[in-house]
Amino acid sequence: MRKISEDICCSKVDVLVNTSYKDFLDSLQGKKAIFYSKNLSIDYKGDLNIPIEDGEKAKDVSNVLDLVKALYDNGFNRGDYVIAIGGGTVLDLVGFVSSIYMRGLNLINIPTTLLGMVDAAIGGKNGVNFGNTKNILGTFYQPSAIVIDLNFIKTLPEEEIRKGLAEVIKYGLVLDKELYDYLAMNDKKILEKDEGALEEIIYKSIKDKLTVVKEDERETKGIRVVLNFGHTIGHAIEAGSNFTIPHGYAISVGMVCEAKIAEEMGYSEEGVVEDTLWILSLYGLPITPEKLPSKYSKELALASIEKDKKIRNDEILMPFPTRIGDYKVVKVPIQTVKGFASQCL
């Protein structure tokens, strides 16, 4: 077991990597509401156990009030615990609910997908979708603990491993050359779910993400935006498909497109686009729209860029890879981004 403890602004956050979630929950004193993915067989008995239909539909705003009602009807208060067990969609929904009910009660994240373990469970961003826009309603709210139980990986299909790897590759490309090199040399082990290799990339990803979040929890200093590399175009693809194209695949194509924009605008060293294409292909991730699992409306995708949360005045704060493991945030006019996007989408 590896433990990371961080003070993020006003919250103490513990991350336990490779530990039993049941043992951890047993150690908590207090009432527990367990909100878990319906697709998982969770036999842990809390004071309230509610299954959630996961996938992007979980992030429909109507689900927020259903969960709030369950907490309210069952007399939960700020001394009690909300436990989120599932992939990124369950974590985003439950994180939001736990932050608004009584202005916040104790949240424990137990991610069960690779994407959840390396990204969604970490950093306190949560959100639900509204009006064809991703995560337009949400808060920043830190969980007190994140428990990574690698047993969940055992039942995870390979395609879910690949989707999570898209976010791991993101860290490699813009923050961590060592992680990029590790990914480049250990593809077989990682795709075969070798426990040591998975623990290594999960640990490195969490460290990278927390280093950024600690500096700029609320994304107000132009630092946390780096975690959004590939997401302007990625979220546009998701919106254009009515959220049927999974996040991991959408941001894979998004990273290719945004790396190309960086190169064309003269912000990246030669070879960055090739390295991006190479590493994504190594893990079988889509690098062109044709390789995505379904079609999307280009018009809806382009229109959704206008709602990007990184817009300030008429410009989007774009985190561009400058060389592998490094980035620069550049203000690009919305219409310029849309012009480039129109070529890649």
Ligand X SMILES: NC(=O)c1ccc[n+]([C@@H]2O[C@H](COP(=O)([O-])OP(=O)(O)OC[C@H]3O[C@@H](n4cnc5c(N)ncnc54)[C@H](O)[C@@H]3O)[C@@H](O)[C@H]2O)c1
Place of tokens 């927020």: 64
Q: Which of 56, 149, 160, 167 binds ligand LNCXM5UN (CB under 6 A)?
A: 167
Listed in order, strand segments (DSSP E) in the chain are 2-8, 11-17, 32-37, 48-52, 81-86, 106-111, 128-130, 133-137, 145-148, 311-312, 315-323, 326-333
Q: Which amino acid is at 112?
A: T
| Angle at alpha carbon of residue 283, lines to 277 and 289, rounded to 5° | 55
156-179: burial string, b at 16+ Cβ within 10 Å, e else? beeebbbbbbbbbbbbbbbbbeeb
- Give the SS3 label for residue 125: strand
Nearer to ligand LNCXM5UN, 70 or 136 (CB): 136
Q: Which of 39, 106, 244, 336 binds ligand X (CB under 6 A)?
A: 39
Backbone CA torsion sign across 51, 54, 57, 60: positive
**Does residue 13 interact with ligand LNCXM5UN by CB under 6 A?**
no
- Measure CA of the first residue to CA of the last residue in the chain; give whole Å: 42
Place of tokens 């395609």: 159
Q: Which of 98, 99, 228, 304 binds ligand LNCXM5UN (CB under 6 A)?
A: 228
Q: Is 290 a catalytic residue?
A: no
DSSP 8-state secondary structure symbol assigned to residue 135: E
Is there a binding annotation on residue 59?
A: yes
Q: Which of 111, 309, 317, 338 binds ligand LNCXM5UN (CB under 6 A)?
A: 309
Which one of the listed residues 160, 200, 217, 219 is annotated catalytic? 219
**Does residue 87 interact with ligand LNCXM5UN by CB under 6 A?**
no
Which residues in the 221-250 window bind ligand X by CB under 6 A? 247-248
Q: Is 228 a catalytic residue?
A: yes
Q: Which of 32, 125, 204, 260 binds ligand LNCXM5UN (CB under 6 A)?
A: 125
DSSP 8-state secondary structure symbol assigned to residue 118: I
**Does residue 227 interact with ligand LNCXM5UN by CB under 6 A?**
yes
Q: Is 125 a catalytic residue?
A: yes
**Does residue 119 interact with ligand X by CB under 6 A?**
yes
Q: Catalytic positions, please?
A: 103, 125, 167, 209, 219, 224, 228, 231, 235, 247
Provide the annotated binding site: 54-59, 112-113, 125, 134, 152-155, 167, 231, 247
The residue ranges that bind ligand X (CB under 6 A) are 37, 39-40, 54-56, 59, 86-90, 92, 112-113, 115-116, 119-120, 123, 125-126, 152, 155-156, 160, 163, 167, 247-248
